[in-house]
Amino acid sequence: MSDSRGDGIAAGAASTDGDSTEGKSADPTEGKSGNSTETESADAPTDREHRREVATDRWVGIAGAALALVGLGVLVRQPSLVLAGAVGVGYGVYARTGEAPTPTLAVTRSVSDESPAPGDEVRVTVRAENVGGTALPDLRLVDGVPPGLAVVDGPARVATALRPGTAVTFEYAVRAARGDHDWEPLTAITRDAAGARERTSALDAPTAIACTPELSAGGDLPLRGLTTLHHGRVPTDVGGAGVEFHATREYRRGDPLKRIDWNRRARTGELSTVELREERSATVVLLVDSRDSAYVAADPDAETAVEASVAAAGQAFSALLDGGDRVGIAALSPLDCWLPPGSGTVHAARGRETLATDPALAPTPSDDRFYRSLWLRRFRRRLPADAQVLFFTPLVDDTAATLARRIDAHGHLVTVLSPDPTTSETVGQRLATFERRQRLRTLRSAGIRAVEWGDDSFPVAVAAATRRWSR
């Protein structure tokens, strides 16, 4: 028994600091080897939920093999074989004595930024301390990364061994994406030293990040063409927001900066606000399709049509607000989402918040069932009589097209804005592509304006469409 791994045992079984294994060469992860650090902290154990406990069946048959060796040894009168077989029996006993330990861990998770901007990398640090009385000779931790986030650096996992009082820390990075993201419980898999039994537990250490994209300044989005066609902007004699000069008045808090009369300020030092001739503003409701079926993309790892719709709705929201329209937000979703049409900076902030973090527009679909007629009844009750609807939907099923026509039939101007999630590699995908195209054609022939955008950006598509309509 004098192989080079004698030290390995000592290190493995007794040492506390780290990854000393077979002395092959310098450990490339030396910098990270703060694998376990002894700490005195008396954290309360994290709530644990038992998931499953099974035999791994790794050692099945070892006793049989050992017995066969012993038998052979007796048969051929070779004592050494019997001894070898007896060692095998020893392993068989070893494999049966263990019990998968119950992990009593204090888990803390910290994120480098709780409200990151979209695309930011957020570093996540997970620390698990064995606060129980038993050693965990084989502990594997897999973190419950929120389904809407992708890990961009390192697996969110670690495997280690923890004596009581020791802790393991691991780190990974996720790329932030729009929405509220809640971490799911950490999965802890423990095995006994022989690895014959395995226990899976879930440890819940709540963590969340909220990623709220800025509303892009939507000035370049030619949506006025969309909204003025039916409800023309009628010049009125009321002063307010508009284009044409009406009068000046004393500055009041909350007036937009761009309407302050800076010339006068320079001349006299007084703040005053230019009143413009108010146009009759349109009332627009942005309706985003976020049913289960709308979470589609041309590639499983690509942004879903819901993301594309929400991003476009954000652009439309700020463009319309800038244009003086009253804008509301609704979701075609099993969850209720309704921001009544409004205007002003407070409303802009609420709109931004709704688009970013409303559960109905979450980055992953809701499990609830969608009831079409219930939804339509509620939506119609809320929709102001003169409101137009900008309907963002990938149009991958007939329900979306039907609803667009129903809302149109109730006297609201509906414009369908459709991100194109289709692709055409397989037969089924091609059929889906044809069906969607057919839906668009049917809508257009029914007099509903429809814009689709795929590779080109939303503003480009809208610009092209408005040119077409104004011809």
Partner 1 sequence: MSGGQGGDGATGEAAREEATGETAREEATGDDAGVAAAGDDVPVDDFHETDARPPTVAVVASLAAAGVAATAALVASPVGGALLGAAALAFLGGSLRNSTRVLTWGAAVGVVGLAVAGYRGAPAEALLVAVVGLTVAWNVADHGVGLGEQVGRGARVRRNVAVHGGASLLVGAVAAGLVYGVSLAVGGGQPVAALALLLAGGIALISALR
Partner 2 sequence: MLAVAVGLLAALDRGVASVISPASVVVTLLGVLGVVQGVRYANARRDRKRLPTDPGEPERRAPAAVPGAELDDRIARVASPAPGGYRDRRDLRDRTREVAVAAVARDRNCSRGAAATAVDDGTWTTDPVAAAFFHKRAGYPLRVRLSAALRGRSNYWYGVRAAIDEIERIEEGEP
Toward partner 1, which CB reaches closer, 112 or 293? 112
Tell which positions 398-427 bind partner 2, by CB under 8 A. Answer: 421-423, 426-427
Among the residue ranges 137-145, 279-287, 319-327, 333-341, the one whose residues contact partner 2 (CB under 8 A): 137-145
Among the residue ranges 26-34, 49-57, 261-269, 318-326, the one whose residues contact partner 2 (CB under 8 A): 49-57
Shortest Cβ 364–partner 1 spacing (Å): 16
User: Could you give the 3-state DSSP secondary structure of residue 189?
Assistant: strand
197: β partners = 55
Task: Count CA atoms within 13 Å of residue 442 on its CB side.
Answer: 13
H or E element, residue 430: helix 427-445
Toward partner 1, which CB reaches closer, 170 or 375? 170
Which residue from 1, 14, 26, 75 is in contact with partner 2, where contact means CB under 8 A?
A: 75
Q: What is the Rg, in whole angstroms, of the alpha carbon atoms belonging to the chain?
A: 32
Which residue from 17, 47, 49, 57 is in contact with partner 2, where contact means CB under 8 A?
A: 57
Q: Which does 421 bind (CB under 5 to 8 A by kind): partner 2, partner 1, none?
A: partner 2
User: Could you give the 3-state DSSP secondary structure of residue 300?
Assistant: coil
Query: What is the C-alpha to C-alpha distance for residues 278 and 236, in angstroms, rounded to an integer?
Result: 6
Q: Which does 378 bind (CB under 5 to 8 A by kind): partner 1, partner 2, none?
A: none
Query: What is the C-alpha to C-alpha distance for residues 427 and 441, in angstroms, rounded to an integer?
Result: 21
Which residue from 105, 128, 145, 440 is in contact with partner 2, where contact means CB under 8 A?
A: 145
Q: Which does 298 bind (CB under 5 to 8 A by kind): partner 2, partner 1, none?
A: partner 2
Q: Residue 68, interface with partner 2 (CB under 8 A)?
A: yes
Q: Residue 206, interface with partner 2 (CB under 8 A)?
A: no
Among the residue ranges 17-25, 116-124, 291-299, 337-345, the one whose residues contact partner 2 (CB under 8 A): 291-299
Query: What is the C-alpha to C-alpha distance for residues 224 and 104, in angstroms, rounded to an integer?
Result: 61
Is the CA virtual torsion 238, 240, 242, 244 positive or negative? positive
Pattern 235-274, partner 2, x by CB under 8 A: ----------------------------------------
**Are the beta carbons of 345 and 337 closer than 8 angstroms?**
no
**Are the beta carbons of 273 and 249 closer than 8 angstroms?**
yes
Residue 356: both structure tokens together: 């970013």
Q: Residue 51, interface with partner 2 (CB under 8 A)?
A: yes
Which residue from 9, 54, 217, 238 is in contact with partner 2, where contact means CB under 8 A?
A: 54
Toward partner 2, which CB reaches closer, 296 or 451? 296
Which residue from 56, 102, 108, 399 is in contact with partner 2, where contact means CB under 8 A?
A: 56
Among the residue ranges 48-56, 122-130, 158-166, 225-233, the one whose residues contact partner 2 (CB under 8 A): 48-56
Cα–Cα distance list, 434 to 189, 302, 397, 437 (Å)? 47, 21, 12, 5
Query: What is the C-alpha to C-alpha distance for residues 469 and 20, in angstroms, rounded to an integer?
Result: 72
Residue 407: both structure tokens together: 């809302």
Which residue from 207, 272, 281, 304 is in contact with partner 2, where contact means CB under 8 A?
A: 304
Q: Which amino acid is present at 241?
A: A
Query: What is the C-alpha to C-alpha distance for residues 338 and 285, in angstroms, rounded to an integer?
Result: 9
Cα–Cα distance list, 80 to 14, 50, 250, 355 (Å)? 32, 46, 106, 75
Backbone angles phi, psi at 96, to 5 degrees: -100, -10
Toward partner 1, which CB reaches closer, 176 or 383? 176
Q: Which does 133 bind (CB under 5 to 8 A by kind): partner 2, partner 1, none?
A: none
**Are the beta carbons of 157 and 140 closer than 8 angstroms?**
yes
Cα–Cα distance list, 79 to 1, 87, 92 (Å)? 19, 13, 20
Shortest Cβ 379–partner 2 spacing (Å): 25
Q: Which residue has the tokens 């369908």?
A: 416
Q: Which residue has the tokens 């095995």?
A: 191
Shortest Cβ 352–partner 1 spacing (Å): 15
Query: What is the C-alpha to C-alpha distance for residues 412 and 471, in angstroms, rounded to an integer?
Result: 23
Toward partner 1, which CB reaches closer, 213 or 365? 213
Q: Which residue has the tokens 């020893």?
A: 90
Shortest Cβ 113–partner 2 spacing (Å): 18
Toward partner 2, which CB reaches closer, 399 or 433? 433
Tell which positions 359-378 bind partner 2, by CB under 8 A. Answer: 364
Q: Which does 450 bind (CB under 5 to 8 A by kind): partner 1, partner 2, none?
A: none
Q: Residue 349, interface with partner 2 (CB under 8 A)?
A: no
Toward partner 1, which CB reaches closer, 117 or 409? 117
Tell which positions 174-203 bind partner 2, by CB under 8 A. Answer: 177, 184, 187, 189, 198, 200
